Amino acid sequence: MKAKLANKAASITNMIRMDHGHVMAVFHRYRADVAPGKKAALVRNVCLALQIHAQLEEEIFYPALQGTTAGEQLLGKSVAEHDEMKRLVAEIRALEPDAPGFDDRFLALMRTVIHHVADEETVLLPAAETLLRDRLGELGIRMTKRRMELLAPHTGELAVTTARTFPAATAVITAATIALGSRLLFARRRAPALHRH
């Protein structure tokens, strides 16, 4: 049963690509002249997404790659880039959207993330799809479960920032995706119990 679930699960590499797409979509909505409330929502949404994404990669994806023959070489600068993103996120979170230097710091975060995404999309993810081929679904399940755990304390913030950041249709899709992930986890937890009887 576990192997069947892993085969049907989204691969960890596709989940990482979806995270990248989400953050890039928010970046495209950011402008220095956006109203302070919307700017704050955009930035909170990005910061939370990056925080959770980095933690998921560091807990699940990077260790899986580290266990491969090319892991050390592939991950050379990824951890340093995560550290830089975390530093910038902490600085941005400490500022109000209208504070001097806020836009500059956020733009620096955007540049760092765009560079990191380009590296992952062109080098790390294609290599992982070869090196971890048989584990991509299982790692995707682990990432989904851990994402739900990390998001749980932030559901209110996520709902508010998504509603202020994206059009209503996108917010509905986001909520449906989160609900689907929760259902998959619930089904996965129940499946072993059903087969024990």
Average pLDDT over residues 4-24: 81
pLDDT at 160: 74
Report CA Rg, the chain: 18
Q: How far apart are CA 37 and CA 51, in angstroms?
A: 21
Averaged pLDDT score across all residues of the chain: 84
In the predicted model, is pLDDT for residue 156 greater than 90? no
178 burial level (CB within 10 Å; 0-12, 13-18, 19+): middle
Sequence spans of domains, the chain = 2-196
| Contact present, 141 and 11 (Cβ < 8 Å) | no
CA angle 79, 82, 87 (to 5 degrees): 130
| Res. 5 pLDDT band, cuts 50 70 90 | very low
Residue 71 binned pLDDT confidence (cut-offs 50, 70, 90): confident
For 132, the 3-state DSSP assignment is coil
Token look-up 């990005």 returns: 46
Cα separation values, 88 from 25, 112, 136, 155, Å:
19, 9, 30, 23
pLDDT, tens digit (0-9, with 9 covering 90-100), for 180-194: 665 655 555 555 544
Predicted pLDDT of residue 195: 47
Using the 8-state DSSP alphabet, how is residue 143 labeled? H
The pLDDT of residue 74: 82
* Model pLDDT for residues 107-140, shown as the tens digit of each residue: 999 999 999 999 999 999 999 999 999 999 999 9
